[in-house]
Amino acid sequence: MKENYNVVTLKGTPLILLGEMVSEGKIAPDFTATDNTGKEVRLSDFKGKHIIITSFPSINTPVCATQARRFNIKASSLGDDIVVLGISRDSQEDLHKFCAAEGIKSVVTLSDRKYGDFGERYGFLVKDKDILARGTVIVDKDGEIIYAEYVPEITDEPLYEKALEALENHLLHNKFTLKPLPYAKNALAPYISAETIDFHYGKHLQTYINNLNNLLDGSPLKGKPLKEIILHSEGAMFNNAAQVFNHEFYFETLSPTPKTMPQGALMEAIEERWDNFENFKKEFSAAAISLFGSGWTWLAKDKEGVLHIIKSSNAETPLTAGYTPLMTIDVWEHAYYIDYRNRRAEYIDRIWNLLDWKTVEERYAGL
């Protein structure tokens, strides 16, 4: 089973998560668990509803109890087309007792103890601990994941407001929200510091999102998917929409435990185009270093599946020319100035340690 490092800690001690972690934009995998009565329940039983899945280590700790209560209160006010599933590895008897004592009625409490299906398919299973990590996944009524949070420190509470804001923005306001990173903000060190993440992700990307939401107010593009907005806008709207896409794509390409080399069909395509991976790396790095001013360097495939290294200035993105982006390095100064000052070449040299080729392979395969 896949092991994920540097995502969560327990009182500061790093834990290993097992299984496939999920992210926004993907179709939610189905899973089977048992309810308080021991009955099998599947995610697909709730098809057509918006589903908040809140995962916690054990109902018998104060933070977990708070988590169940908070979502219970909110769930009862959200309406009939929203269901909240609380899931842990507690036994169904323990969950039943807790819910009866606490009056938890609006949360469907599920146990992952019998099947371990949720833990594995959503990457919440903690290795050697027999518990689930803490976090929240929101699935919209079409089965798409619109929010995924793995709480970095397992004793902390989830970002209730952020999760509910994401859902409300999605349901009511058609607004974009900052997606939680699939790793802790200090997990990319020493190559990218927590301070850079604070500014680059927490301030720059947040600003692009805020600007985009403001510009969309009163626009016929409001409520459209991000890629559609990019393809049908210009000026400030295009710049902010494309920067949201480019940054989300960049942060999702990075991993504290990356697959460091591509394999299979992607590797064959790289070898066909550049003879070998080292040549490709050299050419890609040279393109990134030589890009004038602010912009991005991309690995992308065209409609025939041929790979290309593409340089784009400012907010430009290969999407507009019909390419499928596969990998990118942000070469705006704000991506590296805190850690590397003006030494762009050093930043580019070191960021190869964070580029996750598994993610790139999935994009190449169209997953």
- Site residues (CB under 5 A) for Fe ion? 330, 332, 335
CB of 208 to Fe ion, least distance (A): 9
Indicate the residue among 34 and 196 with the shorter CB distance to Fe ion. 196
User: Minimum distance from CB of 314 to Fe ion (Å)?
Assistant: 11
Hey, what's the torsion of the CAs at 226, 167, 159, 207, to 10 degrees?
Answer: 30
**Judged by CB, which is closer to Fe ion: 330, or 361?**
330
The dihedral built from the CA positions of residue 50, 54, 60 and 66, taken in this order, carries a sign that is negative
* CB 53, min distance to Fe ion, A: 31
Q: Among residues 32 and 328, whose Cβ is nearest to Fe ion? A: 328
Q: Which helix (H) or strand (E) holds 299?
A: strand 295-301
> Which residue has the CB atom at the shortest distance from Fe ion?
330
- Shortest distance in whole angstroms from residue 247 CB to Fe ion: 6
Q: Which is nearer to Fe ion, 150 or 208 (CB)?
A: 208
Report the candidate in 298, 315, 319, 177 with the shortest Cα–Cα distance to residue 239.
315
Nearer Cβ to Fe ion, position 68 or 351? 351
User: Whole-number minimum distance, CB 309 to Fe ion, in Å?
Assistant: 19
CB of 207 to Fe ion, least distance (A): 11
Which is closer to Fe ion, CB of 302 or CB of 346? 346
Torsion region of 223: left, alpha or beta (phi above 0 gives left; psi -120 to 50 gives alpha): left
Backbone angles phi, psi at 16, to 5 degrees: -110, 130
CB of 181 to Fe ion, least distance (A): 14
Bond before 190 cis per omega within 30 degrees: yes
Nearer to Fe ion, 53 or 192 (CB): 192
Which contacts (CB < 8 Å, 24+ apart) does range 73-76 have? 73/106, 74/160, 74/164, 75/106, 75/107, 76/105, 76/106
For residue 39, give the amino acid letter.
K
Cβ 148 to Fe ion shortest distance, Å: 22
Nearer to Fe ion, 136 or 196 (CB): 196
Say how far residue 55 (Cα) sits from the centre of its chain: 16
Please report the beta strands in the chain, taking only residues with DSSP state E, as ranges in sequence order: 3-4, 9-10, 13-14, 17-18, 32-34, 40-42, 50-55, 82-88, 107-111, 125-126, 131-132, 135-139, 145-150, 295-301, 307-313, 324-330
SS3 364: helix
Of 58 and 210, the one with the shorter C-beta distance to Fe ion is 210
| Residue 297 backbone dihedrals phi, psi, to 5 degrees | -120, 135
Nearest to 251 by CA among 288, 294, 196, 301: 196
User: Minimum Å distance from CB 74 to Fe ion?
Assistant: 33
Pairing mode, strands 40-42 and 125-126: unpaired
